[in-house]
């Protein structure tokens, strides 16, 4: 099963950072691990969803939705 998102997600982690286009679960997991400063419930749910996709237990859409929710909470979402 592919871990690619049907539609990419655009985030901007730092105020001066360039926008990043997130194409798949691996990109999303990297952002969740390295760029989220707060250990929130939404971040944890997004990480769990990414892991489920990588293990073949869930569809990438599940991880994408969870990532978008976490990115909204962290105020880094630019386009969904």
pLDDT band at 72 (very low <50, low <70, confident <90, very high): very high
pLDDT band at 1 (very low <50, low <70, confident <90, very high): low
pLDDT, mean of residues 33-37: 87
Instruction: Concatenate the DSSP letters of all residues of 6-67 into one string.
Output: EEEEEE--STTSPPEEEEEHHHHHHHHHHH--S--HHHHHHHHHHHHHHTTSS-HHHHHHHH
Q: Residue 37 pLDDT more than 90?
A: no
At 8-31, the pLDDT tens digits run 999 998 888 889 999 999 999 999
Q: Residue 2 pLDDT more than 90?
A: no
Q: Considering the chain, what is the average pLDDT of its residues?
A: 93
């Amino acid at each position: 099963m592919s871990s690619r998102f049907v539609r990419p997600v655009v985030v901007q982690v730092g105020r001066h950072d360039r926008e990043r286009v997130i194409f798949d679960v691996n990109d999303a997991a990297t952002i969740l691990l390295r760029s989220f400063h707060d250990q929130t419930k939404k971040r944890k749910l997004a990480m769990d969803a990414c892991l489920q996709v990588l293990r073949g237990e869930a569809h990438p859409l599940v991880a994408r939705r969870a990532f978008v929710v976490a990115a909204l909470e962290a105020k880094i979402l630019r386009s969904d």
